[in-house]
Amino acid sequence: MRDVLRILAAPLLWLASFTAVYGLHGLICGHGIDGEIVGLMSLQRVLMATAWLLAIGAQTALLWALHAPRFASPSPFVGFVSRGTGWVGLVASVWTLFPAVATTYCL
């Protein structure tokens, strides 16, 4: 059972991150959070960029854990596949969540 969790952890984390970031986008648009300026960016952009960076950080931490000997599987195949899905989860988080951060809001 642990091997299945190792293999599916990164895609499930990506799924949760994707849902959270686009859910936050919906909340920002639905509740009309104004474009207050925080530093050099608007509040919406700061919130979305923070959520995106947290998702990338979580995927990176998971990938690091999958490479660590403490959490490694005794099976070489499971270790290879889990690290592969870890990299896929990290790339998917960067690639699919970036448009929510980079594009305009609430048209």
When pLDDT is averaged across residues 79-102 and rounded to a whole number, the result is 92
When pLDDT is averaged across residues 93-103 and rounded to a whole number, the result is 89
Angle at Cα 104 formed by Cα 43 and Cα 37, nearest 5°? 25
Domain ranges across the chain: 2-102
At position 52, the amino acid (one-letter code) is W
102: pLDDT strictly greater than 90: no
How far is residue 53 from each of residues 29, 33, 64, 75, 90, measured CA to CA in Å? 20, 20, 16, 32, 11
Confidence of residue 92 (pLDDT cuts 50, 70, 90): very high
Confidence of residue 74 (pLDDT cuts 50, 70, 90): confident
The whole-number pLDDT of residue 93 equals 94
pTM of whole model > 0.75? yes
How far is residue 74 from each of residues 22, 27, 35, 79, measured CA to CA in Å? 37, 43, 51, 8
Altogether, the residues listed in the chain come to a count of 107
The whole-number pLDDT of residue 12 equals 96
When pLDDT is averaged across residues 61-85 and rounded to a whole number, the result is 90
The whole-number pLDDT of residue 88 equals 96
Per-residue pLDDT tens over the stretch 4-60: 999 999 999 999 999 999 999 888 888 777 767 777 778 888 888 999 999 999 999
